[in-house]
Amino acid sequence: MKVGVVRYGVGNIGSVINALRKLGLEHVIISSERDLDLCDVIILPGVGSFDAAIRYIRSTLPVIEKLKSSKPVIGICLGMQIMFESSEEGTLRGLSWFRGRVKRLSSRVVPHMGWNSVDILKGSVLDVRSGDYFYFAHSYCLYVGDVEKSILLGKTVFESSEFASIIFDDESMVLGTQFHPERSSKTGLRLLASFLRECRR
């Protein structure tokens, strides 16, 4: 299996690549549509800002907008947020794969950085459990009430904010995490491995 990592042109994706190496997976840095064709799974990483990521995709890789249901996709942090319609962080329209608007955390402390637990709301094929801890680093989120229940798999509470920490569309094989699984030690690798295992079936 070959996993493609989209580079938006800003930020470091080294931790994502290191996680793929630990899982024994070959990776490709995606910078053209030809690169996309070489990959079985695509990762939209969590680096940069909403508008910068969308602007890069529309100017360099517009085919990504139609990627849902054609290839499995993992969206990490910002990569999950751009799957939705819009964000308070920017003015551009998101990929609109799912309904919802990304909003700034209402918590007293922003950004939310560090380890926090996830409450799993329903069963899935993914190897993730309520109480598992993951590493977060974000100032924006999708509040639980703004996400379709059919894709809301996990939520997290940080001070006064209750937000979606995992979304999963098993029909189109799209996984989104507000946390960084690639920086979340064994629990993060376990989650990624279980999703990739399902992609092979």
Q: How confident is the model over 145-197, as pLDDT tens digits?
A: 999 999 999 999 999 899 999 999 999 999 999 999 999 999 999 999 999 99
The pLDDT of residue 48 is 86
Range of 163's domain?
2-199
Would you state the structure tokens that stand for residue 113, as one six-digit string? 């950085």
Specify the length of the chain in residues: 201
Q: Which residues are catalytic?
A: 77, 180, 182
Distance CA 109, CA 135 (A): 16
Q: Look at the chain and report how many structural domains it folds into.
A: 1
CATH for 162? 3.40.50.880
Name the maximum alpha-carbon separation found in the chain. Answer: 45
- Confidence band, pLDDT 50/70/90 cuts, at residue 10: low
pLDDT in tens, 12-59: 799 999 999 999 999 999 988 899 989 999 999 998 899 999 999 999
In angstroms, the first-to-last Cα distance of the chain is 12
Short-list 25, 46, 53, CA closest to 195: 25
Distance CA 27, CA 82 (A): 22
Pick the residue with more confidence: 69 or 178? Answer: 178
The pLDDT of residue 201 is 84
Residue 24 contacts residue 48 (beta carbons within 8 Å): no
Average pLDDT of the segment spanning 129-150? 97
Residue 5 contacts residue 44 (beta carbons within 8 Å): no
The DSSP secondary-structure symbol of 161 reads E
pTM above 0.85, yes or no: yes
Does residue 11 surpass a pLDDT of 80? no
> Among 44-48, 99-103, 126-130, 153-157, which stretch is predicted with the lowest mean pLDDT?
44-48
Handedness of CA 117, 179, 88, 65 (dihedral sign): negative
Which 3 state secondary structure label does DSSP give 189?
A: helix
Average pLDDT of the segment spanning 51-71? 93
135 strand-pairing partners = 115, 180
